[in-house]
Amino acid sequence: MKTLFLVEKELYDGTQLRSLWAYLNHKIQGPSIVSWQGPCEVDFAHMVDGEDLNEGAAIRGSLMLHFVIELFGRDLAFAVALQRLFVAILKDELNQGAKILVKRPLVQRGDDLYWGQQKLSISIATVTPVSQMIHLAVNISNKGTPVKTCSLQDFKVSPKKLALKLMRLWSQEYDSILQATQKVRPVP
């Protein structure tokens, strides 16, 4: 899986969840993960999580660390399973790297990360007719978030360092998952 960190800030408004977004905007073809920093503001028309739509939830933050993953030739169930693995790796990386989290670590519930009652991240996995996509965003700041949150600033974690490390780990994990599908004999 290819990785790319965008140095320029960019608003995440949900339009990035569109097939070939990385290829058409950043020239990376094939399975990819792209990360950048920027505010988050997703209007109702671009919300894809039925839970958010049902609750009339707001999806926004003044500054978040974004990740957009695109896969090809898989299905939604696989994308959801990958999404949770991605969150698990993020959680471990933060819990191990931030001193403040050693005693009181982040906890994963489904595809969300919580620090006590404070929510750190938002995420969705969905499909296009030609690919599967995941968006995950981590609060860099708690400003502008619609619920009680925690953020990388609380943990004194550098967003860029985290992004680079996480994308490297994820790229290895993804390749290793594919390899695990190419080394096993069937059973009756």
- Per-residue contact string for residues 83-102; x = within reach of a second copy by CB under 8 A: xxx--x---x----------
Nearest C-alpha neighbor of 64 from the set 158, 148, 145, 139: 139
Nearest C-alpha neighbor of 59 from the set 15, 14, 107: 14
Q: How far is the CB of 79 from a second copy (least distance, A)?
A: 8
Cβ pair 18, 129 in contact under 8 A: no
**Closer CB to a second copy, residue 53 or residue 143?**
53
**Closer CB to a second copy, residue 106 or residue 140?**
106
Q: Which of 3, 128, 141, 171 binds a second copy (CB under 8 A)?
A: 128
Distance CA 62, CA 75 (A): 32
Task: Give φ, ψ of 132 to 5 degrees.
Answer: -125, 140
> Which residues 130-169 are close enough to bind a second copy by CB under 8 A?
130-131, 133
Residue indicated by tokens 């004194």 = 156
Cβ pair 171, 3 in contact under 8 A: yes
Q: How far is the CB of 188 from a second copy (least distance, A)?
A: 6
**Closer CB to a second copy, residue 63 or residue 170?**
170
> Which residues 31-70 are close enough to bind a second copy by CB under 8 A?
31, 47-51, 53-54
Distance CA 83, CA 85 (A): 5
Q: Is 176 in the site for a second copy (CB under 8 A)?
A: yes
For a second copy (CB under 8 A), the number of binding residues is 58
